[in-house]
Amino acid sequence: MPVTIRDVARQARVSVSTVSRAISAPDLVRADTRERVLEVVRGLGYQPNPAARSLITGRTGNLGIVVPDLGNPFFPSVLLGVQARARESGNSVFFCDSGQDAVTEEELIRTMARQVDGVVVCASALDDETLAELSTLTTMVLVNRALPGVPSVLMDSATGMAAVVEHLAALGHRHCAYLNGPVRAWSNQFRRTGLREAACRSGVSLYELGPYEPTFQGGARGVDAALAAGVTAIIAYNDLMALGVLTRLAELAVAVPERISVTGFDDILYAAMCGRPLTTVTMPAELAGRAAVELLLDRLDNADGPAESTIRELPTTLVIRSTTAPPAGPARL
Amino acid sequence: MPVTIRDVARQARVSVSTVSRAISAPDLVRADTRERVLEVVRGLGYQPNPAARSLITGRTGNLGIVVPDLGNPFFPSVLLGVQARARESGNSVFFCDSGQDAVTEEELIRTMARQVDGVVVCASALDDETLAELSTLTTMVLVNRALPGVPSVLMDSATGMAAVVEHLAALGHRHCAYLNGPVRAWSNQFRRTGLREAACRSGVSLYELGPYEPTFQGGARGVDAALAAGVTAIIAYNDLMALGVLTRLAELAVAVPERISVTGFDDILYAAMCGRPLTTVTMPAELAGRAAVELLLDRLDNADGPAESTIRELPTTLVIRSTTAPPAGPARL
DNA sequence: CTGAAAGCGCTAACAT
DNA sequence: ATGTTAGCGCTTTCAG
């Protein structure tokens, strides 16, 4: 039987409204009264019932985050950032993993919408229309996805990919394969754009393969096609795939980076920890999480504000490690 | 302005209680009335306000999970299991990362306690006393930690560690180092117990080093001490540390497994994905998450039940991969 | 500066 | 089988 505001009021010999004020609007209460009340609050270990509070204020004090795959270390990092910023602002956070499935994702967002003040949707698999509709249900912020009218945090992956291509071109590569991630994913489209333009500019011919699952398995699967295309470098959609590529290449006894170069994207922790540290692009995942919550809180505070489509773009940077080197000889023998 | 139960009642020409029943106790309402109500519910897109419902039922429909480090892939896996089982039972889940800090952990649990029906605490850094006190605040289930009166899900790490030692002993190793994780952690104590007993039985001398942070860095840090001790095998507290060991060893140009064997614990995804796949012990993380929720739901359903200390013990298995081999020669030269 | 009172949206007795 | 009503614990006018 938890202690209620009435218990506090009785023991402090004031009315419940005074207790309420002492807690949520301290300057509306005379200093000594306030002290007396807070004393009792501490003594009894009173904590307001969030449900009751939420019922009247309309705010839950909860935020939600939906990610496609917690198994990809990129997303736990985003979660970390979200939690950090949420806690600073006195919010709790719900999480959901959609398993990269659009139907599940929609369902999860609908369910969350009722219980949170706002939700951060990462790398959504939903089409613009559905997403737009869902965004009317609750305050929404997108990560790695853009949609008119919905604030979003973008990581500049086009530039990151361009850096990859330029790096490869500078090393002398002329024939590169790109292992596509989910084609419908905003991230993939954007990465591909950066890729194509840079390839064009630097005279690199690009072999687009896939789409593949953005996982270790997916990467492994793409290797044979890439090899068949006779490229000297494989550009993976993300690190997980790149790791799969590396493993498959090792099985086939293809030397990296001597015979073939490999690049990833995201810079997950394990990219650096693996036998052969991966050349990849750093994504500020945790920062993105924080930024997303920031945007959410902004929206929440001035709900009446214009529905301007705020976009926070975060920079990415190429990290050159051990999986890229000049090609062994002419691209095609 | 979300639609309320009254809107539904009005439009369906029934009282609010009928609507309430049609939703939460359908068999108390005549079929045709129920249909009419549910029709309107769908039409209006009505969803009950969870706060209002919770205020009266005393149940929030939320569960919480506290983990020490989301950056360790073991925990996202647990989260996945928790979410899956929670969703099946119509619950949502809050998460928190304590950053391996006891003070933060306590604070987080206290905060959560107000908003959830129960909480899963993983690998707690708290002492028994504090934990026992917190367990009175809300229904609690522990993962990888035992405490009288609190149900817990344990992974049989003692046996797992014993298997590691036996494997090493069978290969001919006689001098092994153990890189301790956090000494106060239940997991570490248990792993160490299994280790010692098995070492004793199989005539292996054990050099206990540390404690170290249970991270990549921590593992790297332990290598030099292990080398100085002249061992032929390094047993790390977990995979993250083992990965650190591998990397540091590579820097020092010490061949694995030729000159030294290395083992991890947890079998995180990356253990298998790394250049040299790690010999480790598989922990059923996702299963543990599910089991924890299961226990939580049990407790929630018969709250009056005896406070028996239910323990679900999950098996672990040794996975032999490429980082263990017979020692090169006599242990000490 | 403080108190009284009216609900927030819903469920659960209690009537009918 | 359905309706009426009294709150759950809190915030917030509105008076004083």
Confirm if A233 and A327 have CB atoms less than 8 A apart: yes
Q: How far is B48 from chain A (nearest CA, A)?
A: 9
Rg over CA atoms, chain B: 25
CA atoms of A70 and A97, how far apart (whole Å): 6
Q: How far is the CA of B5 from the C1' of C9 (A)?
A: 7
Q: How far is the CA of B213 from the C1' of C6 (A)?
A: 56
Q: Are the Cβ atoms of A275 and B273 closer than 8 angstroms?
A: no
Q: Are the Cβ atoms of A95 and B93 closer than 8 angstroms?
A: yes
Chain B residue with the nearest C-alpha to that of A93 = B94
Residue B330 contacts by C-beta under 8 Å, 6 or more apart in sequence? none
Point out the nucleotide closest to A37 (alpha carbon to C1′). Answer: C2
- Does A1 score more than 70 pLDDT? no
Residue B167 contacts by C-beta under 8 Å, 6 or more apart in sequence? B263, B279, B318, B320, B324
| B54 CB contact with strand C at below 7 Å | no
- What's the pLDDT score for residue B237? 97
Which residues of chain B are at the A interface, by a Cβ-Cβ cutoff of 8 Å? 47, 49-52, 54-55, 60, 62, 70-71, 73, 75-77, 79-80, 83, 92-97, 111-112, 114-115, 216, 243-244, 246-247, 250, 269-270, 273-276
CA atoms of B203 and B187, how far apart (whole Å): 24
- What's the pLDDT score for residue B331? 41
CA atoms of B285 and B185, how far apart (whole Å): 17
CA atoms of A81 and B36, how far apart (whole Å): 46
- For residue B77, the chain A residues in CB contact (below 8 A) are 70-71
Q: Which phi and psi (to 5°) does residue A161 adopt?
A: -65, -40
Q: How far is the CA of B281 from the C1' of D16 (A)?
A: 72
Point out the nucleotide closest to B15 (alpha carbon to C1′). Answer: D3
Q: How far is A297 from chain B (nearest CA, A)?
A: 19
Confirm if B228 and B260 have CB atoms less than 8 A apart: no
Instruction: Give kind and range of the element (H or E) at residue B67.
Output: strand B62-67
Lowest mean pLDDT among A38-52, A266-280, A282-296, B109-123: A266-280
CA atoms of B288 and B199, how far apart (whole Å): 28
Q: How far is the CA of A24 from the C1' of C6 (A)?
A: 20
As a residue count, chain A comes to 333
As a residue count, chain B comes to 333
Neighbours of A63 (CB within 10 A): 29
| B321 CB contact with strand C at below 7 Å | no
Output the six-digit token pair for B315. 């098996």
Chain B residue with the nearest C-alpha to that of A243 = B273
Q: Which of B273, B274, B286, B323 to mutate to test the interface with A (most CBs of A within 10 A)?
A: B273
Confirm if A195 and A162 have CB atoms less than 8 A apart: yes
- For residue B114, the chain A residues in CB contact (below 8 A) are 47, 49-50
Q: How far is B16 from chain A (nearest CA, A)?
A: 18
Q: Region A44-49: what's the mean pLDDT?
A: 92
Confirm if A162 and A194 have CB atoms less than 8 A apart: yes
Q: Which of A55, A92, A276 minimises the CB distance to B55?
A: A55
CA atoms of B85 and B141, how far apart (whole Å): 14
Neighbours of A196 (CB within 10 A): 18
Output the six-digit token pair for B252. 């020092």
Residue nearest to nucleotide D5 (CA to C1'): B17
Confirm if B181 and B161 have CB atoms less than 8 A apart: no
Q: What are the tens digits of pLDDT across the range B50-60?
A: 999 999 999 99
- Does A332 score more than 50 pLDDT? no
Which residues of chain A are at the B interface, by a Cβ-Cβ cutoff of 8 Å? 47, 49-52, 54-55, 60, 62, 70-71, 73, 75-77, 79-80, 83, 92-97, 111-112, 114-115, 216, 243-244, 246-247, 250, 269-270, 273-276
At position A274, the amino acid (one-letter code) is C
| A332 CB contact with strand C at below 7 Å | no
Sign of the torsion angle spanned by Cα atoms A317, A320, A324, A325: positive
Q: How far is the CA of B259 from the C1' of C11 (A)?
A: 70
What's the 3-state SS for chain A? CCCCHHHHHHHHCCCHHHHHHHHHCHHHCCHHHHHHHHHHHHHHCCCCCHHHHHHHHCCCCEEEEEECCCCCCHHHHHHHHHHHHHHHCCCEEEEEECCCCHHHHHHHHHHHHHHCCEEEEECCCCCHHHHHHHCCCCEEEEECCCECCECEEEECHHHHHHHHHHHHHHHCCCEEEEECCCCCCHHHHHHHHHHHHHHHHHCCEEEEECCCCCCHHHHHHHHHHHHHCCCCEEEECCHHHHHHHHHHHHHCCCCCCCCCEEECCECCHHHHHCCCCCEEEECCHHHHHHHHHHHHHHHHHCCCCCCCCCEEEECCEEECCCCCCCCCCCCCC
What letters, b where the CB count within 10 A reaches 16 and e where it falls short, cover A151-171?
bbbbbbbbbbbbbbbbbbbeb
Number of DSSP helices (H) and strands (E) in chain B, helices first: 13, 12
Q: How far is A198 from chain B (nearest CA, A)?
A: 30
- What's the pLDDT score for residue A309? 65
Q: Are the Cβ atoms of B273 and A96 closer than 8 angstroms?
A: no
Q: What are the tens digits of pLDDT across the range A111-125?
A: 899 899 999 999 999
Q: Are the Cβ atoms of A71 and B70 closer than 8 angstroms?
A: no
Output the six-digit token pair for B321. 């991969």
Average pLDDT score over chain A: 92
Q: Are the Cβ atoms of B275 and A273 closer than 8 angstroms?
A: no
Q: Are the Cβ atoms of B247 and A273 closer than 8 angstroms?
A: yes
How many CB contacts within 8 angstroms connect chain A with chain B? 110
- What's the pLDDT score for residue B127? 94
Please provide the distance, in angstroms rounded to a whole number, between the alpha carbons at the two ends of chain B: 79
Q: What are the tens digits of pLDDT across the range A53-110?
A: 999 999 999 999 999 999 999 999 999 999 999 999 999 999 999 999 999 999 999 9
Q: How far is the CA of A56 from the C1' of C6 (A)?
A: 12
CA atoms of B68 and B63, how far apart (whole Å): 17
- For residue B256, the chain A residues in CB contact (below 8 A) are none
- For residue B276, the chain A residues in CB contact (below 8 A) are 275
Task: Print pLDDT tens along chain B (333 aa).
Answer: 689 999 999 999 999 999 999 999 999 999 999 999 999 999 999 999 999 999 999 999 999 999 999 999 999 999 999 999 999 999 999 999 999 999 999 999 998 998 999 999 999 999 999 999 999 999 999 999 999 999 999 999 999 999 999 999 999 999 999 999 999 889 999 999 999 999 999 999 999 998 999 999 999 999 999 999 999 999 999 999 999 999 999 989 999 999 999 999 999 988 888 878 999 999 999 999 999 999 999 998 876 555 566 899 999 999 999 999 999 864 444
Output the six-digit token pair for A195. 């890729």
For residue B310, give the 3-state DSSP assignment.
coil
CA atoms of A67 and B228, how far apart (whole Å): 45
Instruction: Give kind and range of the element (H or E) at residue B228.
Output: helix B216-228
- For residue B250, the chain A residues in CB contact (below 8 A) are 275
Point out the nucleotide closest to B9 (alpha carbon to C1′). Answer: D3
Point out the nucleotide closest to A20 (alpha carbon to C1′). Answer: D11
This prediction has a pTM of: 0.90
Q: How far is A200 from chain B (nearest CA, A)?
A: 33
Q: How far is B198 from chain A (nearest CA, A)?
A: 30
Q: What are the tens digits of pLDDT across the range A124-180?
A: 999 999 999 999 999 999 999 999 999 999 999 999 999 999 999 999 999 999 999
Instruction: Give kind and range of the element (H or E) at residue B235.
Output: strand B233-236
Q: How far is A271 from chain B (nearest CA, A)?
A: 9
| A30 CB contact with strand C at below 7 Å | yes
